Amino acid sequence: MSPRPSLGHYHIVSKLGEGGMGAVYRATDTKLNRDVAVKVLPDAFAADPGRLARFTREAQVLASLNHPNIAAIYGVEEGALILELVEGPTIEERIAQGPMPVDEALALASQIAEALEYAHEKSIVHRDLKPANVKVTPEGRVKVLDFGLAKAMAEETVSTDPTASPTLTMRSTQAGVILGTAGYMAPEQARGKAVDKRADIWSFGVVLYELLAGRHLYAGETVSDTLAALLTKEPDLTAVPVKVRRLIIRCLEKDPRKRLRDIGDYADLLDETSAAFQRKRPSILPWLAATTMAVTAALALAAWIWLRPTPLPPVTRFQIFAPPGSTLPLGTPAPSPDGRILAYTVRGQDRVTRIYVRALDSTESRVLPDTEGAIHPFWSPDGRALAFSAGTLKRVDLAGGAARSLADIGPQWQGAWGQTGIILLKNGAAGGGAAQVPGDGGTATPTVKLDAARGENGIEFPFFLADGKRFLTLVSHADGSQNIELATLGSTVRKVVLPGVMSAPILAPAPDGRNYLLYFRDASLMAQELDGRTGTVRGSPFVLVDGIGLVGNPPIRPAVGVSPGGVLAYQVASAASDYRLSWFDRSGKLLSELPPAAGGYSPKLSPDGRLAAVSRPAGRGADLWLVDLSRGSSTRFTFGNGGRHYGRPVWSPDGKRLAYTYAGGGIYAKDASGSGAEQELLKTGAVSVPLSWSPDGRQILFWMGSKLFLLHLGGQAPLPVDVATGAAAAQISPDGKYFAFASQDTGRAEVYVAPMPPGAGKWQISINGGALPKWRGDGKELFFLSPDLKIMAVDIQLGQGVTEGVPHALFQIGTPDGFGSVYDASSDGQRFLVASGSFAGADAPITVVLNWWAGLKGK
């Protein structure tokens, strides 16, 4: 939110900075002719009158603080906080210059203590004391900023129920019940418990240490590491002078009952020779005795800490929900490499997805500009940029600036950004394999070729190991088998890591040095330890997450992301009622919407247009249902009992049978009436997806391993369709003489038409990318989906060859997963049945697990 040039009688001059509690501006008070600071509150306050009113009441209490070491609050004006403008650096900037002389550090600390003592006497707790919230004026006076604002800006009070910790709930502007910054929180604050002035005393001890040591006391590679150290480790005070160690030890007692009770007693724990403090002490002898005892206790404590086993950090879980009015589609939530930030996609009220980022120690999330239509973001190794798919591969830098295209490769999202700076992708061009793109943009060049001698016909879903040269990938073979294998850039040498797995691989490095291979089986996220040096798994696999969501076409990529910093983020499968079917005309006007009970995805209209076959999630699998479009009712067609995944139905030309896939491998058929036994048409060890049944009923065009095949129902072996590279969707023309398909011969998906039976020659129909071709019932028009998610139409004349017109847009389909089966066209081409939620699903909250690896002890 940017302020107007003026707020009441405050004229905005310039921006000073921005943080989790809002942006801060320099302004002029035109009534009193003085400079002030204006903190513009986050948008969440403007949208919540009750919360703004409560904040105003809190601010009025805080405005009563009148102390020379506390930056004053002047008032609240139109959703902004008016503050004393404090010139000068923060002590965070001073700490960055190195250790501070003890007397200089104690002089600053004494002023901080005076400010805390004054506020505590008024029953006001700071809750977010840290070096960045303490400034030093040019005259040398300390000013403590943001006093009490952490509590004032909280959405709710801290729970005192110990059973509520450490499980947290994160909504649009609230990070559970934790108020404060990770490295300076008292243990009880980090656990979400009630806090009092002793939490400020803990923070005071941390700040004093950092002034003297010139470095952070609690600063792990990730937020979870920092919290773990804070909760489990005793501080190493060898970097600070002996004269202050007893004070810091008493401030940093993890049990608040043992902690220094009043900040006003700080001087009683210091050597009396410290000139910065002028408090009177009753006697030197008791102090010397206490010092001796404290040093002895400290030595004993240090020995105990050194010898005892290092405890594992606590496993902490919380959920992230979509901002109000938005939803979280199933996707690939992506923790940054250091585990500090989570990137994910949100579908707004305009049904367009955008990338949001949230610092895991912050109460705020923000949308990245110029990321409309984005799906599946993944991080650069340094955590400064994200790559994502939005019709083509793009990059956006967190520091700002517009997103830019990296390469013209079509709707590619199976990317991995390696430590050497290259992005590795599935190669959709002729020859297959893998291609690489520079992280700063450029031409996609082949880097890993398929090994024909091994029967390879697809390399997908790469995931780099730490060396940036080797990567895990899903390799498909001509015999239908799929394995997770270990590959190397520039080489055809592969090592089978896990055979017979129909899942994208995910490498999950843990902070303790172990690596885990994550994959799905029966829609559960499985984990198995991986030796990164030899590329072999060891031990037995175990379920890490039950009911994991799946993305892709077909869905073989778990909806999960993991960082080396120990953060795991995932989404589970959405409910079936979230998938709504709607009828639209050619202009995009909504004609009707079927009731939720008739919902589903991958809709396929029957030849007579009375029924639609759809898929719905069922437990850890999915089943097929038949929807009566006139009545709005549905009937279950397959019965997987929650464990089998049925999908992608195709009607026989007479409408009497349905063919479909079973994710365990194979194509099956059954009478549309639901009676009779299921017939096995094709048994494979790989995902095989039927796409189109020929008009004469003798053949089925199907997809397997990034290629098209023709299945002859007379019993012959499937025939490869070599004209299509990297194809995933196709349909035979109504006269049976041609078929339309989407292929990546040019490096991005385009729609083509080729003759039947498949042979030489094809005609490109789309111009700027396309997928999901659908014929009109008379074969004179072809529909397809553009990369920017519009339904396109093009006139077609079929004869001895193909004559095509110019593609033109009909309407925006508005789904984030445009390359799944999300629509079908009526026979006359005047209406379109759209799965409103798409396969990506509706709202699927993100579960974040900090220190997930610590829960694997003994597995």
Decide if 13 contacts 6 (C-beta within 8 A).
no
The residue-averaged pLDDT of 253-261 equals: 91
The residue-averaged pLDDT of 606-614 equals: 95
Residue 169 predicted with pLDDT over 60: no
Shared domain check, 590 and 565: no
Residue at a domain's end among 70, 85, 100: 85
Collapse the DSSP code of 665 into the 3-class scheme (helix H, G, I; strand E, B; otherwise coil) and give the result.
coil
**Main-chain dihedrals φ then ψ at residue 94, nearest 5 degrees:** -70, -40
Of the listed ranges 183-192, 311-320, 665-674, 769-778, the least confidently predicted one is 311-320
Residue 693: pLDDT band (50, 70, 90) is very high
Which residue type does 409 have? I
Q: Is residue 859 part of a domain?
A: no
Q: Is residue 513 part of a domain?
A: yes
**117: its two tokens:** 């003592």
Shared domain check, 543 and 416: yes
Residue 562: pLDDT band (50, 70, 90) is very high
Residue 785 predicted with pLDDT over 60: yes
Shared domain check, 557 and 602: no
pLDDT of residue 859: 59
Shared domain check, 464 and 351: yes
The Cα-based distances of 191 to 176, 197, 849 in angstroms read: 10, 16, 15
Residue 159 predicted with pLDDT over 50: no
Decide if 595 contacts 521 (C-beta within 8 A).
no
Shared domain check, 49 and 144: no
- Residue of 845, 231, 165 whose CA lies nearest to 549: 845
Residue 16 predicted with pLDDT over 90: no
Residue 816 predicted with pLDDT over 60: no
CA atoms within 13 A on the CB side of 852: 27
Please give the residue that has the higher pLDDT: either 355 or 428: 355
**Based on the number of CB atoms within 10 Å of its own CB, is 143 exposed (0-12), middle (13-18) or buried (19 or more)?**
buried
CA distance 531 to 255: 41
pLDDT of residue 835: 83
| Residue 114: CATH number of its domain | 1.10.510.10
Q: Is residue 371 part of a domain?
A: yes
What interhelical angle do 102-121 and 242-251 show, nearest 10?
A: 30
Of the listed ranges 282-296, 474-488, 667-681, 749-763, the least confidently predicted one is 282-296
Residue 3 predicted with pLDDT over 70: no
pLDDT of residue 707: 78
Quote the percentage of the chain above a pLDDT of 70.
80
Shared domain check, 93 and 71: no
Shared domain check, 552 and 588: no
**pTM, rounded to two decimals:** 0.51
**Main-chain dihedrals φ then ψ at residue 223, nearest 5 degrees:** -60, -40
Residue at a domain's end among 307, 333, 354: 307
Residue 561 predicted with pLDDT over 90: yes
CA distance 330 to 322: 12
pLDDT of residue 760: 66
> Is 128 noted as a catalytic residue in this protein?
yes
Decide if 816 contacts 372 (C-beta within 8 A).
no
- Residue of 555, 685, 673, 689 whose CA lies nearest to 617: 555
Residue 396: pLDDT band (50, 70, 90) is very high
Residue 759 predicted with pLDDT over 80: no
The residue-averaged pLDDT of 818-827 equals: 72
pLDDT of residue 520: 87
Please give the residue that has the higher pLDDT: either 46 or 507: 507
The residue-averaged pLDDT of 291-304 equals: 53
| Residue 29: CATH number of its domain | 3.30.200.20
CA distance 423 to 445: 11
Shared domain check, 125 and 78: no
Which residues 6+ apart lie within 8 Å of 747 measured at CB? 407, 408, 409, 410, 428, 429, 435, 444
Strand 316-320 and strand 168-171: the pairing is parallel
Q: Which among 153-162, 200-209, 702-711 has the top mean pLDDT?
A: 200-209
Beta strands in 684-828 (DSSP E): 688-693, 699-704, 707-712, 719-721, 729-732, 738-743, 750-755, 763-764, 771-775, 781-785, 790-798, 802-804, 808-812, 823-825
- Residue of 531, 532, 453 whose CA lies nearest to 492: 453
Quote the percentage of the chain above a pLDDT of 90.
31
| Residue 849: CATH number of its domain | 2.120.10.30
Residue 180 predicted with pLDDT over 60: no
**Main-chain dihedrals φ then ψ at residue 263, nearest 5 degrees:** -65, -25
Residue 629 predicted with pLDDT over 90: yes
Residue 233: pLDDT band (50, 70, 90) is confident
Shared domain check, 350 and 395: yes
Residue 272: pLDDT band (50, 70, 90) is very low
Q: What is the mean pLDDT of the chain?
A: 81
pLDDT of residue 431: 58
| Residue 225: count of CB within 10 angstroms of its CB | 22
Residue 724: pLDDT band (50, 70, 90) is low
Q: Is residue 343 part of a domain?
A: yes
Q: Is residue 322 part of a domain?
A: yes
Which residue type does 304 have? W
Of the listed ranges 441-450, 605-614, 723-732, the least confidently predicted one is 723-732
Q: Is residue 65 part of a domain?
A: yes
- Residue of 710, 607, 689, 608 whose CA lies nearest to 653: 607
pLDDT of residue 279: 39
Q: What is the CA radius of gyration of the chain?
A: 31
Shared domain check, 510 and 484: yes
Q: Is residue 858 part of a domain?
A: no
Please give the residue that has the higher pLDDT: either 54 or 527: 527
Which residues 6+ apart lie within 8 Å of 518 measured at CB? 505, 506, 507, 508, 525, 526, 527, 544, 558, 560, 562
Active-site residue identified among 29, 103, 128, 236: 128
Residue 672 predicted with pLDDT over 80: yes
pLDDT of residue 19: 65
Please give the residue that has the higher pLDDT: either 791 or 179: 791
Residue 304: pLDDT band (50, 70, 90) is very low
Alpha helix segments (H runs only) across 281-355? 284-307
Q: Is residue 666 part of a domain?
A: yes
Residue 790 predicted with pLDDT over 60: yes
Residue 491: pLDDT band (50, 70, 90) is confident
Residue 408 predicted with pLDDT over 80: no
Shared domain check, 365 and 296: no
* Cα four-point dihedral sign 59, 62, 68, 71: negative
Shared domain check, 607 and 552: no
Place of tokens 């470095």: 215
CA atoms within 13 A on the CB side of 794: 26
Residue at a domain's end among 307, 333, 356: 307
CA distance 486 to 494: 6
Is-cis flag, bond preceding 554, omega within 30? yes
Domain count, the chain: 4
Range of the domain at 619: 580-835
Residue 170: pLDDT band (50, 70, 90) is very low
- Residue of 297, 435, 413 whose CA lies nearest to 355: 413
pLDDT of residue 124: 87
